[in-house]
Amino acid sequence: MRILVVSDTHHDFDTLYRLVLREKDTIDLLLHLGDGAQDIDDLRSVWPLLPVRFVRGNCDYVSTAAGTAVVEANETRLLLTHGHLFDVNYTMERLAAEARRQNAAVALFGHTHRQLYRSELGIQLMNPGSLGKPRDGERGYGIIEFIQGQPVCSLHRFE
């Protein structure tokens, strides 16, 4: 299984479209971590059969999507959130604790517009960065693949 993880597209549908066009034949699931509700609606109109999960971000004012979700992939639980609900600008402890409470091996978040991968409290934490408004120089996304049944997270750049 191969999962594409994006966040913070902020109405930059063109960039999201180009990335998904390039990756769609190699992924089993797209996860969007918020601040892109309209972009996801537009994407679903182009590729209605593409498996997508979306959580609401702090700028998705009219979205009715949940603020957090747990997705099971390859018998592994993934916690999805935008990040603002867990103060990720300041600490990863609350996010890692929630992932542990949800029995998730991986916690995925956005909000900071900066890529990050690290382990905290035994939980893999990944922020794919922002496709729309990066604050760390370049547009970013993440990939999760499963090797011998274990999730392997990687960060990538996109022009």
Instruction: Give the chain's residues under pLDDT 70.
Output: none
**Per this entry, what is the length of the chain?**
159
Greatest alpha-carbon span in the chain: 40
Q: Is 13 helix (H, G, I), strand (E, B) or coil?
A: helix
Q: What is the pLDDT of residue 7?
A: 98
Q: What is the pLDDT of residue 31?
A: 99
Domain that holds residue 14: 2-158
CATH number at residue 57: 3.60.21.10
Q: Which two tokens stand for residue 63?
A: 């979205």
Q: What is the pLDDT of residue 42?
A: 98
Instruction: Report the distance separating Cα 156 and Cα 159, nearest Å.
Output: 10
Within a 10 A sphere around the Cβ of 101, how many other Cβ atoms?
Answer: 9
Q: What is the pLDDT of residue 121?
A: 87
Q: What is the pLDDT of residue 84?
A: 97
How many domains does the chain fold into?
A: 1
Q: What is the pLDDT of residue 72?
A: 98
Q: What is the pLDDT of residue 159?
A: 87
